[in-house]
């Protein structure tokens, strides 16, 4: 079985088995986007998948670790011993594939409250949360850009459940964090500018462009906290993001 197909099968299977055992975990990343969108995923944005990303509550992390090992994945013992309270890695002994588990918190270039998304039904974090994990990447690469396009193309815009992108929720977070807003705005601008390079039908580009505009407008319109306004005066003179820890992929 091709690696991508295998991960698209095994990722949801792990979540289902975890749920049957009383654990709360959700898919993130490329496998999550393909799983969430299902038939609404446009093949134009397909890419090879090399890992399964999961988000789990701390109280369930050890039991999830056992479930992953039962599936034949090998824990990266040194990394997990140092970081297991917030993140765990597992390797496939027969391929370069990897499982990356985020425990309770998501802290990369920016910190995001993804635990809220565990309350939503389904196998994945909601579309809003999946989009934000991509928009928070300061150095947005091609695969992450394409994942954003896939979400804007396949999700509805509004507070319509897990398969939607909620501009209001995004704006609520950025209105309290200038750094997060700045990174989101930079990436939304890149997405808007790069869209013209795609040979997509005009109506599909319009859907994506409208989604980007809806999120951008909500961010602009959101009232800003006092902390936001104070940080905005400093701007880029002070680094507004964290350098995420590099892990082997």
Query: Where residue 199 falls among pLDDT bands split at 50, 70, 90?
Result: confident
How confident is the model at residue 193, as a pLDDT?
A: 96
How confident is the model at residue 197, as a pLDDT?
A: 87
In a domain, 26, yes or no: yes
Q: How many helices (H) and strands (E) does the chain have?
A: 10, 9
Alpha helices for the chain (secondary structure H): 3-20, 29-37, 61-70, 77-83, 127-135, 142-154, 167-174, 178-194, 202-221, 226-234
- Contact assessment for residue 56 and residue 24, using Cβ atoms and an 8 Å cutoff: yes
If you search the block for the tokens 């905005």, which residue do you land on?
A: 232
Query: Where residue 10 falls among pLDDT bands split at 50, 70, 90?
Result: very high
Secondary structure class of 52 (helix, strand, coil): strand
How confident is the model at residue 17, as a pLDDT?
A: 97
In a domain, 59, yes or no: yes
In a domain, 247, yes or no: no
Share of the chain residues as helix, strand and coil, in percent rounded to the nearest 5: 55, 15, 30
Mean pLDDT, the chain, rounded, equals 95
Instruction: Name the DSSP letter for residue 25.
Output: E
In a domain, 223, yes or no: yes
% of the chain with per-residue pLDDT over 70: 98
Task: Specify the number of domains making up the chain.
Answer: 1
Cα Rg for the chain, rounded, in angstroms? Answer: 18
In a domain, 167, yes or no: yes
Q: Residue 248: is its pLDDT beyond 70? A: no
In a domain, 243, yes or no: no
Domain that holds residue 76: 3-237
Q: pLDDT for 122-153, tens place per residue?
A: 999 999 999 999 999 999 999 999 999 999 99
In a domain, 64, yes or no: yes
Query: Where residue 198 falls among pLDDT bands split at 50, 70, 90?
Result: confident
Q: pLDDT for 206-226, tens place per residue?
A: 999 999 999 999 999 999 999
- Contact assessment for residue 182 and residue 240, using Cβ atoms and an 8 Å cutoff: yes
In a domain, 95, yes or no: yes
Q: Buried (b) or exposed (e) across 49-80, using 16+ Cβ within 10 A?
A: bbbbbbbbeeebbeebbebbeeeebebbeebb
Q: Residue 74: is its pLDDT beyond 90? A: yes
- Quick one: tokens of 204? 């599909």
How confident is the model at residue 147, as a pLDDT?
A: 98
Query: Where residue 162 falls among pLDDT bands split at 50, 70, 90?
Result: very high
Instruction: Name the DSSP letter for residue 60.
Output: G
């Amino acid at each position: 079985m091709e690696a991508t197909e295998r991960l698209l099968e095994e990722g949801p299977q792990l979540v289902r088995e975890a749920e049957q055992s009383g654990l709360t975990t959700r898919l993130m990343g490329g496998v999550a986007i393909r799983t969430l969108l299902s038939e609404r995923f446009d093949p134009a944005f397909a890419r090879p998948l090399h890992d399964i990303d999961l988000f789990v509550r701390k109280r369930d992390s050890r039991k999830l670790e056992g479930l992953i090992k039962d599936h034949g994945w090998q824990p990266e013992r040194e990394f997990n011993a140092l970081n297991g309270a917030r993140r765990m890695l597992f390797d496939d002994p027969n391929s370069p594939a990897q499982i990356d588990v985020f425990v309770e918190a998501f802290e990369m270039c920016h910190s995001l409250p993804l635990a809220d998304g565990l309350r939503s039904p389904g196998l994945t974090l909601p579309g809003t949360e999946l989009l934000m994990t991509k928009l928070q990447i300061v150095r947005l690469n091609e695969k992450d850009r394409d994942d954003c396009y896939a979400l804007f193309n396949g999700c509805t815009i509004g507070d319509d459940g897990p398969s939607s992108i909620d501009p209001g929720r995004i704006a609520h977070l950025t209105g309290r964090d200038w750094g997060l807003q700045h990174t989101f705005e930079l990436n939304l601008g890149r997405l808007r500018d790069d869209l013209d390079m795609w040979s997509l039908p005009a109506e599909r580009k319009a859907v994506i462009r409208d989604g980007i505009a809806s999120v951008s407008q909500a961010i602009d319109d959101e009232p800003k906290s006092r902390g936001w306004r104070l940080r905005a005066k400093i701007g880029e003179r002070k680094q507004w993001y964290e350098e995420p820890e590099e892990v082997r992929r």
